[in-house]
Amino acid sequence: MKKAHWEKNLVELIRRTSTDLPADVEQAIRKGLRREKKGTNAHDFLSMMLENAAMARRDSVPLCQDTGTLTFRFTVPTGFDTNGLASITRNAVSKATRLGYLRQNTIDSVSGEPYVTNVAHAAPVMEFLQGARKTVDARLIMKGGGCENVGRQYSLPDVALGADRDLEGVRRCVLDAVWQAQGRGCSPGVIAVCIGGDRAKGYAYAKEQFLRKLGERSDVKVLARLEDRLMRDIRHMEIGPMGLGGKTTALAVKIGSLSRLPASFFVSVSYMCWAFRRRGVLLGPEGGVHRWLY
């Protein structure tokens, strides 16, 4: 493993993720902009978001100062040295922090002291899967605290919401979560949902939905229909960009499902702000770039 090579390209992955808003997200914001009336706060705020995206890309500076929790997901060939890759990734994170692509954003929860390099136990988050290809598929999502704080998990049935253990119940949970969030998750957001699983995997699998492109509908028919229905419902709510009113509240709804125990039925909702930072890259055996994803 050529360490320097790997590190350089992982730093580049972080740089792109932090500074370069993916095309599908930008398009979705543009689409929202066309729907809003000129001169409204909604129109102004969406324009400023796009202006910000262009500026961050041009100057190679973070889209948002909250550079968030970094979650890497690596799919590696059989027999690949994942411990080595983990340690290189940690180095790349601390280097990207020194270069200003990441804010000093990691704090010891007991002492309150900052980890100045953003490296701590389980920070960054790394997940390793084994794949059939010879390349390493590296994906990174950066998710800030504002939108993370408005995520919600429901245990059905929920009497207050009138939510039973069915898809209508799921719909109610999602609408409630979006309403509770108002503009606090920096709307317009992407709403990822997991039906089922336990509490831990429920949130994790909801977040996996963020890896899907925004235009990609669920390949499970009933879930695809629910995604569409929720998009329409949410548009009616008119929470708008940053919660100031307007038609653009969500950019997409993504739903996945996991099996569950007979006794539990969780609906986990994760909210991603408009500054949706997601990038990926295919790296060869020596750490060279094959192709950038998204």
Partner 1 sequence: MIKHIEYPFTEEKIRGLRVGDKVSLSGRVCTGRDRLHHFLVKGGKCPVSLRDGAMYHCGPVVMREGDQWVVRAAGPTTSIREEPYMARLIETLGLRVIVGKGGMGEATRMACRDHGCVYLQAVGGAAALLASCIERVDGVHFLAEFGSTEAMWEFHLRDLVAVVTMDARGHSLHRTVERRTRKTLKDLLSE
| Cβ density class 211-226: b for 16+ within 10 Å, e for less | bbebeeebeeeebeeb
Residue 188 sits in the site that holds partner 1 (CB under 8 A): no
For ligand SF4, the closer of residues 52 and 82 by Cβ is 52
Residue 174 sits in the site that holds partner 1 (CB under 8 A): no
Question: Which of partner 1, ligand SF4, none does 68 bind, CB closer than 5 to 8 A by kind?
Answer: ligand SF4
Q: Shortest approach of ligand SF4 to residue 70 CB, angstroms? A: 12
Size of the site for partner 1 (CB under 8 A): 50
- Distance CA(93)–CA(99), nearest Å, equals 10
Q: Which residues contact 39 (CB under 8 A, 6 or more apart)?
A: none
H helices of the chain, in order, are 3-19, 23-35, 41-59, 82-98, 145-148, 167-181, 199-208, 221-237
Which phi and psi angles does 118 have, rounded to 5°? 70, 15
Enter the tokens of residue 202.
Answer: 């429920």
Residues 114-133 that bind partner 1 (CB under 8 A): 114, 116
Q: Report the interface residues with ligand SF4, using CB under 6 A.
A: 64, 66, 68, 144-147, 185-186, 273, 275
For ligand SF4, the closer of residues 145 and 157 by Cβ is 145
Q: At what angle do helices 3-19 and 82-98 cross, to 10 degrees?
A: 50
**Are 31 and 23 a contacting pair, CB within 8 Å?**
no
Among 184, 217, 225, 290, binds partner 1 (CB under 8 A): 184
Q: Shortest approach of ligand SF4 to residue 144 CB, angstroms? A: 2
Among 32, 62, 151, 197, binds partner 1 (CB under 8 A): 62
**Are 123 and 130 a contacting pair, CB within 8 Å?**
no
The residues binding partner 1 (CB under 8 A) are 41, 44-45, 48-49, 51-52, 55-56, 59, 61-67, 100, 103-105, 114, 116, 144-146, 149, 161-162, 172, 175-176, 179, 182-184, 186, 233, 236-240, 242-245, 273-275
